[in-house]
Amino acid sequence: MKKSFLLNLSKSHFFIFTGILFLKVLFLRYLLFQDIEFTQTIVLELSYILIFTSLFELAKPSWKPVLYFLLNTLFSILFLAVILYYSFFGRIVTYFALFQLGQVGTINESVSALLQPIYLLFFLDLIFILVLMVFRKYPLPPLQLNKKMMMGVLLFLGLGVSALNFNLHKDEAISNNVIAAQEKGILNYEALEIYYGPDSLTGVETNVSVENVAELKEEINRIKGLEIVPESERNYFSDAKGRNLIVIQVESMQNFPVGLELDGEEVTPHLNKLIDDSFYFPNTAQQTGPGNTSDAEFILNTSLYPVAFNPTSQTYGQKKFPSLPRLLAAEDYNSLTFHADDISFWNRDELYPALGIGSYYYGDFFGKEDVIGIGPSDRVMFEKAMPILREHHKRDKPFYAQLIGLTSHHPFTLPEADRKFPLPERFEDSLTGDYLVSINYMDTVINDFIEELKREGIYENSVIAIYGDHFGLQQSAISPNDVDLVSEILGREYGTLDRLNVPFIVHAPGISDDGETFEKTSGQLDMMPTLANLLGVSLDDQIVFGQDLLNHDSNLLGARYYLPIGSFWNDDILFIPEKDFNDGTAYDLKTDQKLDAYDQYREDYDRVLQLEKLSDEYMESLPEQ
């Protein structure tokens, strides 16, 4: 009887699908963590699977085949989403990010580039089941047992072990969410995220009213150790008063291609020349959150930390932000932005009004001419923006124009006619090579745009800022050969410091002509205060978490999406925690080498968490539009 029961059980939907899902989560853990610990996977993951499969055994026999097939399909899609998200972002996807799946169609080329043949293993059994259905070998015969009680026991066991895991790990604070998922269990981690929500700084104490601007500014400056420099003593303050501000955000631009030569050919010859007459900040840190490009726009215009686990435009799109466009509007500026993508992507249709941008040109305005990747080329964007800028110039009023690039988006595929950079043979047919070609393209079209500004008489009375929004080459998303190629370029192993390093260039004709390179630590949060200083715009009544790079040397900056919560840059190191400060890694900013001792920076770890908490509380306190 016992033997007959076990034989029947082994041929049942319950046994087969429980086993299949267990093997899939085991495979997922191997891909994510290079971890194939069988016992740990049983303890951490199996109970959640048992909840579903045991529950299905209590359903009507006719429903079981459909329920199991749907469950298997949903888990397979979830596991694929987890590994693809990890490959590109270096993080474990949560349900907040899964809500963005509607955006995938806009970046389908990038998603396709991340797919690996081995990922088909998540779906191989589904194909096999479909074949069995064709030959009428599926559904399987129902489990002929009077053992409903056993299934109830297994359901109770699944619920009990899941609840135990949930409670054991619910108060366990782990900064790195990849390690959190490994130690808590992938499915348990997702359950915890759903239950507790995205507040990542619940244990951080703040002792100031975020609604009192003067008090909050004083607290931010105290935490950062920032001394206020009177306007009359500031370098370059108001030197560009009344000038137009033109900001170019370059898609996926890291700093390492700037000044790079390959076999005697400059990747960015025009930017290199421009830098000779500009303020250049080569050590600028990327600080974006999951909103990527839209978060970079948000940071530029507010100098606030973006939300940690959701695009800021989706979380706070209904808010009214104190911003650079609103500050400049008080100085009689018109503000406008150009972006050839769909305005609904990353909720820009809500972000731009929230930032107080007066006019925005997007999507249909640029038409379908010269489409490259996800939209009309940046050459088209610059060409079609020029008549608008010309009209604003004729009004004899200053304007603030932000131009958001698209063409150098991953996977960096350009038409042959636009591939002008002569790649060395070893870089051909590589993602790194394609990336450098796309950056070279951007260098050319930006130069053409600046030359057109000169011809139109706009250039001399403008400040032109250029910066990268986020990295282009993620170590986990590129091949070992591509990692080797970037390492060859750098002369050292390609690491996190280089990946999260974007350029920031400020070109002000007649002001920055002597050229100056500032090697100090800087971040995207610092762009707005630096530009405001040049334009003579007071920030006395404005909450900013960045600082003017032309007048301050010491810095403290955080990032909490592409790095674990609590990560920071200061004047000496980039620090990345694992579970917390005690088991983190500190990289010397000058040598990129790991430091054995870093206890002296503990206070900076606590301070950056306070800054991020204050930024969150301040945004939450802002009124709606």
**Binding residue ranges:** 251, 293, 409, 469-470
The two counts, helices (H) then strands (E), for the chain are 23, 17
The strand pairing partners of 624, in sequence order, are 319
d(CA 184, CA 92): 12
Produce one character per residue of 489-528: b if its CB has 16 or more CB atoms within 10 Å, e if not.
beeeebbbbbbbbbbbbbbbbebbeeeeebeebbbbbbbb
User: Taking CA 239 as the corner, what is the angle to CA 235 and CA 241, rounded to the nearest 5 degrees?
Assistant: 135
Measured CA to CA in angstroms, residue 76 lies from 66, 73, 80 at distances of 15, 5, 6
CB atoms within 10 A of CB 452: 17
Find the length of the chain: 625
Contact 334, 400 (CB under 8 A): yes
H/E stretch holding 504 reads strand 501-507
String of DSSP letters for 378-431: HHHHHHHHHHHHHHHHHTTS-EEEEEE--TT-TT----GGG--S---GGGTTSH
Determine the 3-state secondary structure of 53 from DSSP.
helix
Amino acid letter for position 486: V
Closest CA to 537 of 137, 240, 208: 240
- CA dihedral 33→39→44→46, nearest 10 degrees, is 110
String of DSSP letters for 434-476: HHHHHHHHHHHHHHHHHHHHHHTT-GGGEEEEEEE-S-S--GG
Contact 336, 356 (CB under 8 A): no
* Residues with Cβ within 8 Å of residue 507, at least 6 apart in sequence: 274, 277, 278, 279, 463, 464, 465, 466
H/E stretch holding 591 reads none
User: Taking CA 162 as the corner, what is the angle to CA 156 and CA 168, rounded to the nearest 5 degrees?
Assistant: 135
d(CA 67, CA 265): 60
d(CA 614, CA 83): 33
Active site residues: 293
Amino acid letter for position 69: F
Binding residues for substrate: 409
Count Cβ atoms within 10 A of the Cβ of residue 455 and give its class: 0-12 exposed, 13-18 middle, 19 or more buried.
exposed
Measured CA to CA in angstroms, residue 245 lies from 164, 195, 240, 259, 402 at distances of 57, 45, 9, 25, 8
Kindly state the greatest CA–CA separation across the chain.
Answer: 94
* Residues with Cβ within 8 Å of residue 130, at least 6 apart in sequence: none
Binding residues for Mn(2+): 251, 293, 469-470
